[in-house]
Structure 1
Amino acid sequence: MTTPPAPKGAWRITFLLFLLMLVNFADKIVVGLAGVPIMTELKLEPEQFGLLGSAFFFLFSIAAIVVGFLVNRIATRWVLLVLAVIWALAQFPMVGTVSFSTLLICRVILGAGEGPAGSVAVHAIYKWFPDEKRTLPTAVLSQGSAFGVILAVPALNWVIVNYSWHYAFGALGVVGLVWVAAWLILGEEGPLVETAVTAEAEPRIPYVQLLTSRTFIGCCAATFGAYWALSLGLTWFTPFIVKGLGFSQQDAGWISILPWVFGAVVVLLTGWTSQVLMARGVSTRGARGVLGAVPLIVGGSILAVIPHIEGAALQIALLVAGSGLCGSIYVVCAPMLGEFTPVSQRGAVISIYGAIYTLAGILAPAVMGSVIQRASGLLDGYMTGFTINAVILIVSGLLGLLLLWPDSERARLTGDARQPKFA
């Protein structure tokens, strides 16, 4: 059967949503990038800074679930617009003198606004691409996170070094408002949803069946491990480079780009490889499930080596490789869930998935901060934290290998192993 082409304008919307995720991750990384100046100015202990990193995720999951159900009924165009306005406005209070409490509250508000973003953006993308063509645009969308760091880190770090970390937050607020204006002019709702949602024959599956399916559980477990690594990177990578390894703030800004450059290559290669494998008849179990889970095991194994080797350059290289490999799972899980979830329920299911795996964002920064504060030495604390991360990654990858069977899930839930019933 010939795959239908993507509607006109699909890649324009993909690019706009790529920019949205770029802003999203620039907002996330700024606290970690400015970690040492913030801790110095506000006189924060490692546990307090870990709490600040975790605060971003306090309402992240709740907001993702609530908005996930809303986008089943409200156009994603307007939902994304409101979310982006919240992000922008939440940055401006940090421009002036700020207390730890104010910074904490603003990060909580920002997290509530950004929590639904990834899932809603994926849901919006899927209104423009048929199932067989979703992996690559999903990979492009996820690259907004990498490029948000790659492009933003040098610029934000320059502001931090030459002016103040306060102005870095203000710059992000301005950039967020620019995206809002662009989306208001150019953003559209995808046409594929119209036929899917209005089709009376479209079956609905009880949410309890969707959310207890082994592939849904496998996606949550596997991506939880990947997000643990990502959350540590967002909050603790730059402080590790500066305080743990002794680099300057200026040098650390450039080094902080490396995991995201490597991760960008991994993600794009995963998206391309997945679509090539599917075009050659490989099942989605292999082309999506195995392809996403195995790198977690490899990445965790690499991180486990870091405490046992010496030399800052080699430690950074292993940290970059181990954490960068985790990106594969983000590319494949949303398309796997889309294989067996009806369109009218897909926004909620993908959002609930996102809400569950991002719980790692609450735990990882706080655990690292607690471990560092209680360790006999600063570097020992970081190494213990990386070991914990390695174990979590390996376990999550093994669970992914065991549970990710999207094609079998589709057959079980819909009774059709040959064709997906849902757009």
Structure 2
Amino acid sequence: MSAQGTPKAAGSTTAKATPKETPKGAWTVTFLLFLFMVVNFADKIVVGLAGVPIMTDLKLEPEQFGLLGSSFFFLFSISAIVVGFIVNKVATRWVLLTLAVIWALAQFPMVGAVSFTTLLICRIVLGAGEGPAFSVAVHAIYKWFPDEKRALPTAILTQGSAFGVILAVPALNWVIVNHSWHYAFGALGVVGLIWVAAWLALGKEGPLEDTQALAVSEPKIPYLQLLTSRTFIGCVAATFGAYWALSLGLTWFTPFIVKGLGFSQTDAGFVSILPWVFGATIVILTGWISQVMMARGVTTRIARGVLGSVPLVLGGLILAMMSHVQGAGLQIAALVVGSGLCGAIYVVCPPMLGEFTPASQRGAVIAIYGALYTLAGIIAPVVMGSVIQRAGSTIDGYMTGFTINAVVMIGSGVLGLLLLWPNTEKARLTRGTAAQAGALKGVVSPT
């Protein structure tokens, strides 16, 4: 039996086929992958953090800067899908190493004088390297933890995004203010190479699953059924709304603080941390609450599906109030809380997909899920840039853009509430596969 096991019904006492004990070394690998995501999000945030100096130096219009923010995602989804199928066959240890090397090398061209075209190309290459990052890291961690223990390590992994911003923003902003935005990119390249060295020394493959062996022995579910299941569609829809907010935070939050609200670049660096601090709290709480609920026999429909979707709706409603409150403090508070609540969905969706996806197919399914929801990263920054450039004033443009974000979040949260039923998904998919097999057998049978 694969490590994700069979979804546990409420009150069920049936023993799982997966090991109950967490293998030695699991938390070391979890910490390394947490750092992997720290580097990943530090790489993402640097363009937004240096947005105003970049626009000034390269004489960019808002639409051009929006294009730069979106360019990171041009190959993001394609790369995620391709690598997702690769990790079904290749050890995640070496895939993660390769991705981190690409990240580091993509940063160094920005150290010297750079044109908009060069910056654009380097961001596209970086996006191709970072597209598979989260899904491969999740797949790697799930080789160390059985299903009932995956919520907390998933939350810790997700926390890497918040800490990547919390730790990187003050350091990178200091470099930008006191030296140049060019050197901020170079610093990230060096940090990436340091992680590569640490992973070479300490990174290992998890012992709970051998996906190559499982690919031969484990029953499979057709990818079409997995990818059209209501829980998969619900995860994509719900996380799409969350990622819309995240991609705006990565690209437009600091420019909004500087150009929209009039803060200095130095002060904006500190303010830019706030959504990630709040989001980090939401992520940890969600992982802990989900795991406690499941330990008490609550179905994953509630402990994962509802728990992840409700904050999206609440966050969208709070964000929608942003244009109706007066004062920079209240507007920042609405933006911080509204966008920060999105973090809950990232914790619960990968474990939900892992509930019903065979381990030998899980890497590809989680990667395709990531590839689809991150399409929001292509759309959201460009939409915001276009709205700002066409608005009567800069602040009006930002407020309209954040209102659009609120509508997307509310809609995605509602879809999550309607579609996320992981506790019944595996049984339904298994029945469907068995029925198809039986029908096929009946066709070829001489009787």
| Fold shared per TM-score above 0.5 | yes
Q: Equivalent of 1:267, from 278, 283, 292?
A: 283
Q: Which residue of 1 aligns with 2:399?
A: 383
CA RMSD of aligned residues (A): 1.2
Give matches, 1:13-412, under 5 Å.
13-194=29-210, 197-198=213-214, 201-412=217-428
- 1:176-201 deviation digits (Å, cap 9, x = unpaired): 00000000111100011128844854
Q: Distance in 1 between matches of 2:59 and 2:127?
A: 24
The one-letter amino acid paired with 1:245 is: L
Report the structure number with the largest CA radius of gyration. 2
Alignment check: 8 A CA contact 1:197 1:343 kept: no
- TM-score, normalised with respect to structure 2: 0.92
- 1:187-241 deviation digits (Å, cap 9, x = unpaired): 1000111288448542100000000000000000000000000000000000000
The one-letter amino acid paired with 2:46 is: V
Consecutive unaligned residues of structure 2, counting only runs of 5 or more, are 1-14, 433-447
Q: Distance in 1 between matches of 2:166 and 2:211?
A: 39
Q: Distance in 1 between matches of 2:341 and 2:302?
A: 17
Report the 3-state secondary structure (helix = DSSP H, G, I; strand = E; otherwise coil) of the residue aligned with 1:192.
coil
Q: Displacement, 1:284?
A: 0.2
- 1:250-277 deviation digits (Å, cap 9, x = unpaired): 0000000000000000000000000000
Q: Distance in 2 between matches of 1:6 and 1:185?
A: 21
The 1:39–1:392 alpha-carbon spacing in structure 2 relative to 1, beyond 3 Å, is: same
Q: Which residue of 2 aligns with 1:12?
A: 28
Q: Distance in 2 between matches of 1:199 and 1:258?
A: 44
Report the 3-state secondary structure (helix = DSSP H, G, I; strand = E; otherwise coil) of the residue aligned with 2:186.
helix
Q: Displacement, 1:64?
A: 0.1
- 1:83-125 deviation digits (Å, cap 9, x = unpaired): 0000000000000000000000000000000000000000000
Q: Displacement, 1:409?
A: 0.5
Q: Distance in 1 between matches of 2:238 and 2:213?
A: 30
Alignment check: 8 A CA contact 2:88 2:212 kept: no
Q: Distance in 1 between matches of 2:430 and 2:20?
A: 22
Alignment check: 8 A CA contact 2:151 2:290 kept: yes
The 1:294–1:200 alpha-carbon spacing in structure 2 relative to 1, beyond 3 Å, is: same
The one-letter amino acid paired with 1:50 is: G
How much identity, in percent, do the aligned residues show? 81
Q: Distance in 2 between matches of 1:209 and 1:135?
A: 25
Q: Distance in 1 between matches of 2:345 and 2:309?
A: 6
Report the 3-state secondary structure (helix = DSSP H, G, I; strand = E; otherwise coil) of the residue aligned with 1:57.
coil
Q: Displacement, 1:161?
A: 0.3
Report the 3-state secondary structure (helix = DSSP H, G, I; strand = E; otherwise coil) of the residue aligned with 2:210.
helix
Report the 3-state secondary structure (helix = DSSP H, G, I; strand = E; otherwise coil) of the residue aligned with 1:193.
coil
Q: Which residue of 2 aligns with 1:421?
A: none
Alignment check: 8 A CA contact 2:155 2:347 kept: yes
- 1:34-78 deviation digits (Å, cap 9, x = unpaired): 000000000000000000000000000000000000000000000
Q: Distance in 2 between matches of 1:45 and 1:413?
A: 50
Q: Distance in 2 between matches of 1:20 and 1:217?
A: 28
Report the 3-state secondary structure (helix = DSSP H, G, I; strand = E; otherwise coil) of the residue aligned with 2:20.
coil
